[in-house]
Amino acid sequence: MYHVIIEKNKFSISEVARQSSFSSPEFDVIPSHIRLMECEQEFVQTEHARTRLVKKLQDVKDRYDIVLIDTPPSLNIYARIALIAADYLLIPSDLKPFANEGLRNVQKFVAEINDFKEEMGRDTIKVLGVLPTKLATYARFVDYTLPKMEAIVQNQYGFPLLKSRIFERRDVSSAIERTIEMGQLDIPDPRSILDHKPDSQSAEEFSQLAQEVLALIDA
């Protein structure tokens, strides 16, 4: 991902994309690394770094139906680069007070990005909504506390709320935490929940989320 953003005429999407090994069917992934965070100032100081992803995605627009861009949970240069390139925004949140306060910053950030996109002649971002995630599963929370938390997001912060909910379940953790033994080493071998346990409640929740997102972007 570093090379996609930093290089103007090299490292196209087609060159750097790799097939996934954690899902079936496979899909293309552009690899990144935690050390990318060390390069933030370099991107801030590099002219046109903010818009380079726009051009490189435009070059492969006929190759992909949907591109998902995952960003760190900070409103930094990486979020800026992603939102300038994106058409839609999905905001995962556990709906807790600290996360809700961050929504005010998201509103300001999106407004700033949209001003920049209008100057570029690009359509503004459509906020699909807040996705309730990492939710507890016990009945009292689901029946009483969760509806109140969801109402706060809509009434106090003005964000739409997705109907889909992602609960914190052991099946998801076990899919992510899978390993394979290689000698004395345990090598990470994560799997999509849809492959790991396709009949689980978690798989159903993610399937419903995918259908809801598709419906929203086709609306």
Domain ranges of the chain: 1-81, 87-168, 170-219
Q: Note the pLDDT tens digit of each residue in 57-85.
A: 999 999 999 999 998 888 899 999 999 99
Q: Note the pLDDT tens digit of each residue in 24-35.
A: 889 999 988 888
Pairing state of beta strands 88-93 and 126-132? parallel
Is pTM, for the whole model, over 0.85? yes
Residue 219 has pLDDT above 70, yes or no: no
Contact assessment for residue 54 and residue 122, using Cβ atoms and an 8 Å cutoff? yes
Q: Note the pLDDT tens digit of each residue in 144-188.
A: 999 999 999 999 998 999 999 999 999 999 999 989 888 888 888
Directed axis angle between helix 49-58 and helix 77-85, to 10°? 30
Residue 172: CB partners within 8 Å, gap ≥ 6?
Answer: 193, 202
Per-residue pLDDT, 35: 82
Q: How confident is the model at residue 42 (pLDDT cuts 50, 70, 90)?
A: confident
Per-residue pLDDT, 186: 87
Q: How confident is the model at residue 189 (pLDDT cuts 50, 70, 90)?
A: confident
What's the whole-number mean pLDDT along residues 126-146?
96
Counting beta carbons within 10 angstroms of the beta carbon of residue 199, is it exposed (0 to 12), middle (13 to 18) or buried (19 or more)? exposed
- Average per-residue pLDDT for the chain: 92
Residue 194 has pLDDT above 90, yes or no: yes
